[in-house]
Amino acid sequence: MKSTVITLLVAIFMICGCDNQKGDDQKPFLQIGEFSVNRINDTLTVVRDGAGRNLALIPRNGKKPPGFKPEMVVRIPVRRVVAYGSFDVAALRVLGVLDPVLVGVTTPRERWYVDDVKTGFDKGRIAFLGDAGAINFELLKKQQPELVLTWNPAIIPMLSELGIPCVVTSTPVAMCLNARMNYVKFLAPFFNRQEEAEQYFQRVNSSLQDIRAKTADQWDDSRVMWGDMYEKRVLVEPGNAWIGELVGLVRSDYLFKDVYGTSCIEISMERFLYSGKQATIYFTYRTPKSGATSKAALARQHPLLAKIRPLGPGGKVYAPLPHYSQSGDKLDQIFTEIAAIIHPRLYPNYKLKYFQELPDTDPKD
């Protein structure tokens, strides 16, 4: 069993095509999961985004290269950015460019936990452009972005009409562990911040190596599931996602390791409940603010959840704290926290920062 899982993990690393070696920022070609960066020469870098589109990065005073439509040419370093996803905002923070370049987001100020973003709102530099599914394109145009980072390919025609380049940062396949760690290297050339991206990667990679060394001989019978049941859908993290891969690397069993596809992939309720009968640790997508205050509260939201083993006596259920989804610049800490949850005896006195263990019932006032 152990050798099979280890072999599978090695294969996943190879498929992801991510390089762990130092000096990646000096390589003329980088493959980062579904993304790529191809440095043609000193004045042209071609990047492929999550939708498989090629964009040309050129100096701000450079000549437009042939073969690229105007909206597919990005002049670097980019000075004004709209970002849909909190992970992209976190990447801007890693690169040290969030404060000067971020001018628009799709989450209102009251739902941000990042001080730099809240300060940007207060100074009038950052604007809330509307929910991701209902963008105010007039306001977006007013913010004069030079680039839009989005997970939604449906907005490409509108942005093309406005002449605004965009990069699709979502992919049909969930990011593997190394792609998640390397993603900042994909965005770095847009801002000439390759050195900062490499430093961040080395920091996260060092943390991961420490975790692997600490858990190397600690295989146990923990069985982990990550996802949630909603009124009409059941969504989980697939085995090819960084979450499933990390669970395997810390010598635990991820119960959806045979599921392949995009993040938050839909599976049948029967499969979820089958795995739930075997699980010992359950991570829900819901935060305490969205109802994950106790095991009993989760069961009330969807009574069938009460059938999974972690919601019973002795089971462990963890909910992400509200700031977790905006903490992509803290991957080293998040990796360590997940390892500490799975192997609490290896991390004595560890205090949770990004997750909350749910009690059996809501505390009484």
The 10s digit of each residue's pLDDT in 336-346 is 999 999 999 99
Residue 156 identity: I
Distance CA 12, CA 178 (A): 10
**Cα-based distances in Å from 103 to 5, 99, 124:** 44, 9, 9
Q: Are 247 and 217 in contact (CB under 8 A)?
A: no
User: How far is the C-alpha of 107 from the C-alpha of 46, rounded, in Å?
Assistant: 30
| Band of residue 13 on the pLDDT scale cut at 50, 70, 90 | very low
pLDDT at 110: 97
User: How far are the Cα atoms of 109, 194, 318, 342 from residue 338, in angstroms, in the given order?
Assistant: 28, 28, 10, 6
- Per-residue confidence (pLDDT) for residue 365, from 0 to 100: 62
CATH assignment of 219-357, among 3.90.1640.10, 3.40.50.2300, 3.40.50.720, 3.40.50.1980: 3.40.50.1980
Residue 301 has pLDDT above 50, yes or no: yes
Q: Is the pLDDT of residue 2 over 80?
A: no
Pick the CATH number of 35-170 from 3.40.50.1980, 3.40.50.10490, 3.40.50.300, 3.40.30.10: 3.40.50.1980
The average confidence (pLDDT) of the chain is 91
Per-residue pLDDT at 217: 84
Residues of the chain with CATH 3.40.50.1980: 35-170, 219-357
9: pLDDT strictly greater than 70: no
**Which backbone phi and psi does 33 adopt, to 5 degrees?**
60, -125
**What is the mean predicted confidence (pLDDT) over 5-10?**
39
Exposure string over 78-89, b if 16+ CB within 10 A, otherwise e:
bbebbbbbbbbb
pLDDT band at 24 (very low <50, low <70, confident <90, very high): very low
Query: Does residue 280 have a pLDDT over 80?
Result: yes
Q: What is the pLDDT of residues 346-359, one digit of tens each?
A: 999 999 999 999 99
Residue 207 has pLDDT above 60, yes or no: yes
Residue by residue, DSSP assigns 100-126 as: HHEEEESS-GGG---HHHHHHHHTT-S
Which pLDDT score, from 0 to 100, does residue 17 have? 42
**% of the chain with per-residue pLDDT over 90:** 87
Task: Judge if the upstream peptide bond of residue 157 is cis by omega within 30 degrees of 0.
Answer: no
* pLDDT at 266 > cutoff 60: yes
pTM for the predicted model, two decimal places = 0.90
Phi, psi of 267 (to 5 degrees): -130, 175
- At residue 26 the predicted structure's pLDDT band, cuts being 50, 70 and 90, is low
Q: What's residue 364's pLDDT?
A: 77
Query: What is the Cβ-side half-sphere exposure of residue 162, based on CA atoms within 13 angstroms?
Result: 21
Cα-Cα-Cα-Cα torsion 324, 328, 330, 333, nearest 10 degrees, comes to 60
Looking at 14-28, 31-45, 124-138, 293-307, which range is the least confident one? 14-28
Q: Are 276 and 308 in contact (CB under 8 A)?
A: yes
Q: How many CA atoms lie within 13 A of 131 on its CB side?
A: 2
pLDDT of residue 5: 40
Distance CA 9, CA 178 (A): 12
> Given a cut of 70, is residue 77 above it in pLDDT?
yes
pLDDT above 50 (res 15): no
* Residue 27 in this model has a pLDDT that exceeds 90: no
Residues 6+ apart with CB under 8 A from 257: 5, 8, 239, 244, 248
Distance CA 165, CA 314 (A): 52
Confidence band (pLDDT; 50, 70, 90) for 28? confident
User: CA-CA distance, 312 to 321, in Å (whole number)?
Assistant: 22
Q: What is the mean pLDDT of residues 280-297?
A: 96
